[in-house]
Amino acid sequence: MPAATARRQSRTKIHDKIQELSWNPTFATPVDKYPTDYTFEKAPKKDPMKQVLRSYFPMEEEKDQRVFGAMDGAVRGNMFRHVQQRWMEWQKLFLSIIPFPEISAARAMPLAINAVPNPEVHNGLAVQMIDEVRHSTIQMNLKRLYMNHYIDPAGFDITEKAFSNCYAGTIGRQFGEGFITGDAITAADIYLTIVAETAFTNTLFVAMPSEAAANGDYLLPTVFHSVQSDESRHISNGYSIILMALADERNRELLARDLRYAWWNNHAVVDAAIGTFIEYGTKDRRKDRESYAEAWRRWIYDDYYRSYLMPLEKYGLEVPHDLVEEAWNRIWNKGYIHEVAQFFATGWPVNYWRIDPMTDEDFEWFEHKYPGWYDKYGKWWENYSRLRHPNGHGPIAFEDVNYQYPHRCWTCMVPCLIREDLVVDKVDDQWRTYCSETCRWTDKVAFRPEYKGRDTPSMGRLTGKREWETLYHNWDLADIQKDLGYVRDDGKTLIPQPHMDLDDPKKLWTLDDCKGYPFPSPNIMLNEMSDQEREEFATQYKAGGPGGRYAGRA
Amino acid sequence: MADTLSPAQTPTQTPTGRVRSVPRLVFTDAEAGALEFPSSNSRSFNYFKPQRLKATMYEDVTVDVQPDPARYLTQNWVYGFAKAPGGYPTEWTAAKSSDWHWFRDPNQEWEQTIYKNNARLVRQVEQNIANARNEGAFERWSPGWSRIVAWHVGAWMHPEHGLGMHVFLPAQRDAPTNMINNAISVNSMHKLRIAQDLALFNLEASEARSDFDGKAHLEAWNDDPVWQPVRENAEKLTAIRDWLEAVVAANLAFEPLVGELFRGGYVMATAAANGDFVTPSIMGVAESDLERDLGYTKDLIGGLTSDQEHGRQNIELVGEWLSRWIPESLAAARSLAPVFSEAENSPVTFEDTLSRARERVRAILGELEIPTPKELDQ
């Protein structure tokens, strides 16, 4: 008997055969767990990637083997003798965040399956579900390897706890919770697939790994390029659903709403985090290496906005041109990334990673890439460097370095860092601050049970204790750090440090160095103000900046 | 500041004199053990208690990735549904636990195990089909058996798909911990994979035999009275809102009483006697999936029924669920009785097979110390 060989069947035949699996139920219909205000009654059938599990599992197994081979090689080849600590420290934040959005994407798939009456799309979404389980666990494993082999495991060792209670956690967490909660299509298609995956995984999973490699870490690119190679299928899933949604004119107003919200929120959150990692986490200051702004212009403005989003206009999609331009304006003219990085560094005592000061070489690169950078941010970073070791002074946030601690944006939970754009409004009987008019609109107009006169009963709500500082209003800083658990195993040295110097214990901040500094909540104080005080505060705040300067101080 | 060079400070001139702008490797000495300082040896995730002395790889990559306000999520969920809280409300099942986070998947499923296991199984199925084709096995089926494979085995692809897509896949959104949801998501893929395997096997048979009706399974599933109670059972499973009830009804009632009865009790027991060695090998793969899926289901239910605070209430609840779903699945099983006498050679009887299926349920519930619902004997 000849050796048995697996014959390749026709892909079209296979795909057609698999379509026979589904049927129209007559005894009972699948429970409508996750409501949507979208309608798909007239939805035409669009076929995404024709994925078949028979080929999918071996393909992914092969991809895994390459990843794990690289991991073995990195350890054997002593990769960690060459990684930059400045870079690795930011991975303590990034890799604590990202497995949650990944697993949330898995959990989001039933929302889309339930909402879209198209079995062809269901197949692709089901494969995406297990892809996302893959991504979440492969990223956790990468972090585990870092923890085991990098010089300073502190911060990696408390990773998922720290992500849950840290002052920056919600910034990342909404990029995950937004996939699984609220109107099923708003969450699982527009926010997750159309914007997060199609636009922002380019900077997340392509631009950032490139920077990792430049800092001696070739494992992050290995893992994340393997992840990104699954994303094209996910993008295809989202594209099918948005085309189906566009086929019904009743959806267009909702699509316009959701695209405005999803675009702006993704920009606010992802550009804040990834922009900081790439620009302030690198030691590669070659003048011809691409800045985050340049990468954004290429990957997001040209490849996503101009090549993907704009062509959908002819199908009736209302593209938020103004918000795309304003996002670019914030990055290029308003210093969004630099303001965020400065905020992260200001808040170092309540982080769980270390943040390296910027040096003259960094200054020169920033000035080259972002002309005018030094005048706005240089002095503050010099102060950061000056205050990096404990020497009878407090952490920089509690010293007079002409930096006004910012208010949080109620919607995106990134602080209101571009001071002139601050919006103050009373919503749900509470005075709230917003980083932008769009974030105010998201809270007050979009996430409501009525939109433009139509009922939107399925739309989600913004919930939770959205200002982290509220949890610890006027607590002593050292007590906050203890409560968070950001203390090393000697019971006194802090996990976070504003430098990379592990060689001398005297250079390491301890709980004792942070005693006596009360940490007030800006939002609680705002709500305690009289109307006149609040107006004066807002006027003064908006006149401040850049670089967090108080109004009227150079 | 670390006293190290940056890539930009290192020379970029190559030995050939060609200058390239590339980041150079820099010796940073950032490897474990290079210095001693507080926490320099803290090299394990310390925010959860491993099930045993040392955390497994599975635990490390799974536990707490889905956060919980009951553990560390101090700001609570930041998005909510219009009429329900966000995140993973424990109210989405009527079962109660004093700590949902105790559960660990006995299969320890994470990325590597999922792909290794499933890739192995699809290769096994493909190889078996290739062997059968090369050996001319399809052509040797009798016309009667060929019809059974087209009609009945073909029909079975549908409940596998329905459970995978509309029972387990939605259930993996809802459980309160990542450990439970990941186990259910793997269960979902098992069902979807075997459904596709059966569909493509059906395609293979229809290409190998001119009398094999590759569309017969549609008529069987949609119209044959033998299959309508099975379809009704499968569709009703998709209509359950409570994620744990759905898992219980599918894995502790439908699977042993209908799934195993048909796949193992009928197809695997009958095919060989009718000259078919390939169909049982595919059904056997589904049976091995079930063993894994039953493993996590039993551990999950067992933990809930032995919960010190809520155990008694959970036993009653699971008992109620089974009292509701066992009759549905018994009715579905009984509707398959005529299938058992269709083949020319029928080495097993329906009643013996059903008795074994009942015993299987009884044994599972015995392991879990859940009283057997009286409905099982009706």
Domains in chain B: boundaries? 110-372
Residue type, B371: P
pLDDT at A202: 80
Name which of B45, B60, B124, B328 to mutate to probe chain A: the one with the most chain A Cβ atoms within 10 A of its Cβ: B45
Query: Which domains are assigned to chain A?
Result: 53-470 (1.10.620.20)
Joined tokens for residue A153: 């495991």
- Which residues in chain A show pLDDT less than 50? 1-2
| A414 and B CB contact within 8 Å | no
Tell whether B19 lies on the interface with A, counting CB pairs under 8 A. Answer: no
B79 touches A: beta carbon within 8 Å: yes
* A289 touches B at CB < 8 Å: yes
Check A508 against B38: CB less than 8 A apart.
yes
Q: Nearest by CB to A61, which of B115, B192, B239?
A: B115
User: Mutate which of B13, B48, B74, B191 to disrupt the A interface (most A C-beta within 10 Å)?
Assistant: B74
Q: Pick the residue of A13, A140, A492 with the most B CBs within 10 A to test the interface with B by mutation.
A: A140
ipTM above 0.85, yes or no: yes
List the single residue in B with minimal CA-CA distance to A287: B8
pLDDT tens, per residue, chain B with 378 residues = 444 556 556 555 666 777 778 887 899 999 999 999 999 999 999 999 999 999 999 999 999 999 999 999 999 999 999 988 999 999 999 999 999 999 999 999 999 999 999 999 999 999 999 999 999 999 999 999 999 999 999 999 999 999 999 999 999 999 999 999 999 999 999 999 999 999 999 999 999 999 999 999 999 999 999 999 999 999 999 999 999 999 999 999 999 999 999 999 999 999 999 999 999 999 999 999 999 999 999 999 999 999 999 999 999 999 999 999 999 999 999 999 999 999 999 999 999 999 999 999 999 999 999 999 999 998
A250 touches chain B (CB under 8 A): no
What residues contact A457, with CB distance under 8 A and at least 6 apart? A35, A37, A449, B82, B83
Beta bridge partners of A150: B31
Number of residues that this document lists for chain A: 554
**Partner-chain contact B170 A147, CB within 8 Å:** no
> Which residues of chain B does A6 touch, with a Cβ-Cβ cutoff of 8 Å?
126-127, 129-130
- Classified by CATH at the fold level, domain B110-372 comes out as Ribonucleotide Reductase, subunit A (1.10.620)
Alpha helix locations (H) across A34-181? 53-76, 85-97, 99-115, 119-149, 159-165, 169-180
Listed residue (A429, A42, A553, A411) closest to A421, CA to CA:
A411
Q: How close does chain A come to B312, measured CA to CA in Å?
A: 29
Chain A residues 432-471 with CB within 8 Å of chain B: 449, 457-466, 468, 471
Cα A187–Cα A190–Cα A194 angle in degrees, nearest 5: 130
Nearest residue in chain B measured CA to CA from A217: B25
Tokens of A3: 């050796």
Candidates A81, A100, A466; nearest CB to B31: A81
A29 vs B contacts (CB less than 8 Å)? 235, 238-239
A117 touches chain B (CB under 8 A): no
Smallest CA–CA distance, residue B4 to chain A, in Å, is 9
Nearest Cβ partner for A28 among B28, B114, B238: B238
A103 close contact with B: CB closer than 8 A:
yes
User: Residue B219: CB partners within 8 Å, gap ≥ 6?
Assistant: B151
Contact A494, A481 (CB under 8 A): yes
Beta carbons of B7 and A284 less than 8 Å apart:
yes
CB within 8 Å: B37 and A137: no
Mutate one of A1, A34, A61 to test the B interface: name it (highest B CB count within 10 A). Answer: A61
Q: What is the pLDDT of residue B2?
A: 45
Burial of B217 (0-12, 13-18, 19+ CB in 10 A): buried
A137/B111 Cβ within 8 A: yes
Q: Is-contact B51 B59, C-beta < 8 A?
A: yes
pLDDT at A371: 97
Instruction: Report the C-alpha gap between A200 and B109 in whole angstroms.
Output: 29
Distance CA B191, CA B193 (A): 5
Window 298-337 of A: residues touching B by CB (8 A cutoff) are none
**For residue A119, what pLDDT is reported?**
87
Distance from CA of B378 to the nearest CA of A (A): 23
pLDDT at residue B97, as a whole number: 98
Which of A2, A68, A85 lies at the smallest CB-CB distance from B2? A85
The answer to whether B270 and B345 are in contact (CB under 8 A) is yes
| pLDDT for the residue A418 | 98
Q: Which of A81, A114, A458 sits opposite B30 (nearest CB)?
A: A81
User: Is A288 an interface residue toward B (CB < 8 Å)?
Assistant: yes
In order, the DSSP letters of A327-369 are HHHHHHTS-HHHHHHHHHHHTGGG-SS--PPP-HHHHHHHHHH
Task: Give the DSSP H/E element, type plus range, for residue A434.
Answer: strand A430-434
Contacts of B85 in chain A (CB under 8 A): 463
How many angstroms separate the CA of residue A480 from the nearest CA in chain B? 13
Q: B371 CB near a chain A CB, below 8 Å?
A: no
User: B185 contacts in A (CB within 8 Å)?
Assistant: 106, 129-130, 133
Strand-pairing partners, residue B80, are: A461
Relative orientation angle of helices A336-346 and A272-280, to the nearest 10 degrees: 80
Query: For residue B190, what pLDDT is reported?
Result: 98
Measured in angstroms, the CA of B204 and the nearest CA of chain A are apart by 8
Q: Which of A15, A21, A170 to substitute to test the interface with B, most B CBs within 10 Å?
A: A21
- Any bridge partners for residue A431, and if so which? A426
